[in-house]
Amino acid sequence: MPLGVYISVPFCRTKCSFCNFASGVFSRELFDRYIDVVTADIANSESLATTALCSFDRDVDSIYLGGGTPSVLAPDQLQRLFDAIHNTFAVSPDAEVTVECAPGTITPEIVNTLLRCGVNRVSLGVQSFVDEESRSVGRLHTRAITLADIDLLRQSGITNLSIDLIAGLPHQTAESWRTSLDDVIAIGVPHVSVYMLEVDEDSRLGRELMAGGTRYHAHFVPNDDATADFYQQACDTLNGAGIHQYEISNFARPGRESRHNLKYWLRHPYLGFGVDAHSMLHGSSYEGMRFSTSDDLDNQLNGTPRTFRKIDSASAEDEAFFLGLRLNRGIDLRAIAEACGEPAIVKRAPILDALTELGLLEPAGQNIRLTDRGRLLSNEVFERLMLSDPATDPALPAQAPLTILPTRGPA
Ligand code: SF4
């Protein structure tokens, strides 16, 4: 089965007030050192798979540069990342190649670089088409800038675009949210992601929400019920416009679902590089290995080894349920029984019945799937379906550090 390759670029132009991802504003001098580390790690992929006791397949049919903001890299830095991928893997000619870009960072030079690197899909972190909402969380772009960027991408031939929106931003109302949804439909992009605002408690906005204050617009954050309503409004409006929900946060016109992201929910193999990058490779059948890099840039630059977690048969069963149920098509219980054995279904049957009784799950042909209400309460559903104990999962010996990596100097 072909791999997906993910590269994390943890650099941003500004730090959004709600965000506590492993990303930030760093000196450009650091970018080259980061690219050195990541490209060396990519070249080391086969040995990484061996360490994980998994087979290594060079065939790749999806590449995703996320972050952070990959479009803040210089053209030669982007080129070096793609060269490293092509030197290590056999990238199929029809691979889906996505780069996340922030509106306002898309110059003709960057677009030419993306084309040269074989990028055929751009995911734009728009979040809102209402300038007051974008500004309130520290985004630097406006609606006009976003529309100009989309024009530039389309004129260059990159038409496979995805737009991210966030429900629950400060100042958002049902009317302003409707404006963003109307815009995203009118623009005609084939793919939209909608996330409900999650404020990390260690972010500036999170701290202000707990302590009170106005600097980061905490007093204008809609309450949870309003945010849930906005999410449901997005589902109804986008589905009505032919941009069908296929996953809890993702919507696409027919045939335009993200091939790369589907790998995460279908448990297909992928390798991640850079800060806070996750990987999953198969061992035998449904079992496999998950491993991840440190979420700290210093650790990444210093070659801190990945941490590994074996996916034994019990964990694989859990994953088949809680990842598969994220998809609107739901899960095929017969297929899970064939892959994991009949007991995987039998021991969850009372829970599945109870969740159906509660209106959180529903049958759909031979599948079972979340209802609209189930999607809003998906974490509770998934918790009840998880029967394995991650604490008892056997871990592997640590991966040998990459000794060629430089140590970090002042940023
Ligand atoms: S939300 Fe995205 S663009 Fe904003 S700081 Fe976080 S990673 Fe960077």
Greatest distance between any 2 Cα atoms in the chain: 59
| Residue 203, domain member (yes or no) | yes
Ligand 1 pocket, mutate which of 9, 12, 198 (most atoms under 8 A from CB): 12
- Rounded distance from Cα 14 to ligand 1 centre (Å): 8
| Residue 86, domain member (yes or no) | yes
Sheet order of strands, 361-364 included: 331-332, 367-370, 361-364
Same domain for 90 and 154, yes or no, is: yes
Q: Of 233, 264, 295, which residue sits at a domain end?
A: 264
Q: Name, in order, each residue with C-beta under 8 angstroms of 71's C-beta and a sequence gap of 6 or more.
A: 99, 100, 101, 102, 105, 106, 110
For residue 171, the domain's CATH number is 3.20.20.70
Same domain for 97 and 18, yes or no, is: yes
**Which two three-digit tokens encode residue 169?**
């931003």
Predicted TM-score of the model (pTM): 0.92
| Residue with CA at minimum distance from ligand 1 atom 6 | 19
Same domain for 356 and 208, yes or no, is: no
Same domain for 93 and 165, yes or no, is: yes
| Residue with CA at minimum distance from ligand 1 atom 4 | 16
Same domain for 87 and 234, yes or no, is: yes
For the chain, how many structural domains are there in total? 2
- Rounded distance from Cα 77 to ligand 1 centre (Å): 20
Burial code (b: 16+ CB inside 10 Å, e: under 16) for 344-371 equals: bbeebeebbeebeeeebbbeeeebbbbb
Q: Which atom of ligand 1 is nearest to the CA of 14?
A: 5
pLDDT tens string 249-273: 999 999 999 999 999 999 999 999 9
Q: What is the structure's pLDDT at 403?
A: 26
Q: Which atom of ligand 1 is nearest to the CA of 23?
A: 7
Same domain for 106 and 33, yes or no, is: yes
| Residue 374, domain member (yes or no) | yes
For residue 366, the domain's CATH number is 1.10.10
Strands (E), 283-406: 288-292, 307-311, 331-332, 361-364, 367-370
Q: Name, in order, each residue with C-beta under 8 angstroms of 130's C-beta and a sequence gap of 6 or more.
A: 143, 171, 172, 176, 179, 180
Q: How many residues does the chain have?
A: 411
Instruction: Compute φ and ψ for 42, nearest 5 degrees.
Output: -60, -45
The H or E element containing residue 67 is: strand 59-67
| Residue 303, domain member (yes or no) | no
Ligand 1 pocket, mutate which of 14, 23, 134, 135 (most atoms under 8 A from CB): 23
Q: Which amino acid is at 340?
A: C
Same domain for 349 and 259, yes or no, is: no
Angle at 137 (CA atoms; ends 144, 165), nearest 5 degrees: 60
| % pLDDT > 90, the chain | 75
Ligand 1 pocket, mutate which of 8, 13, 19 (most atoms under 8 A from CB): 19
Torsion sign (Cα): 35, 153, 106, 70: negative
7 forms bridges with which residues in the sheet?
A: 65, 273
Q: Which atom of ligand 1 is nearest to the CA of 139?
A: 4
Q: Which domain holds residue 107?
A: 3-264
pLDDT tens string 276-323: 999 999 876 678 899 999 999 999 999 999 999 999 889 999 999 999
| Residue 260, domain member (yes or no) | yes
In this structure, are residues 191 and 162 in contact, taking their beta carbons and an 8 Å threshold?
yes
Short-list 180, 175, 164, CA closest to 222: 175
H-state helical runs in 98-201:
108-116, 131-136, 143-156, 174-187
Same domain for 212 and 348, yes or no, is: no
Same domain for 249 and 330, yes or no, is: no
Q: Which atom of ligand 1 is nearest to the CA of 12?
A: 8
Ligand 1 pocket, mutate which of 11, 18, 69 (most atoms under 8 A from CB): 69
Same domain for 63 and 190, yes or no, is: yes
| Residue 297, domain member (yes or no) | no
Per-residue DSSP letter, 309: E
List all residues whose CB is within 6 A of at least one atom of ligand 1: 12, 15-16, 19, 21, 23, 67-69, 102, 125
| Residue with CA at minimum distance from ligand 1 atom 7 | 68
- Rounded distance from Cα 156 to ligand 1 centre (Å): 26
| Residue 405, domain member (yes or no) | no
Q: pLDDT per position in the chain (411 positions), as tens?
A: 899 999 999 999 998 888 888 888 898 889 999 999 999 999 999 999 998 888 888 999 999 999 899 999 999 999 999 999 999 999 999 999 999 999 999 999 999 999 999 999 999 999 999 999 999 988 889 999 999 999 999 999 999 999 999 999 999 999 999 999 999 999 999 999 999 988 878 888 888 888 777 787 878 888 889 999 999 999 999 999 999 999 999 999 999 999 999 999 999 999 999 999 999 998 766 788 999 999 999 999 999 999 999 998 899 999 999 999 999 999 999 999 998 899 999 999 999 999 999 999 999 988 999 999 999 899 999 999 988 765 554 444 444 333 222 222 322
Same domain for 340 and 213, yes or no, is: no
Same domain for 246 and 115, yes or no, is: yes
| Residue 212, domain member (yes or no) | yes
Q: Which atom of ligand 1 is nearest to the CA of 10?
A: 7
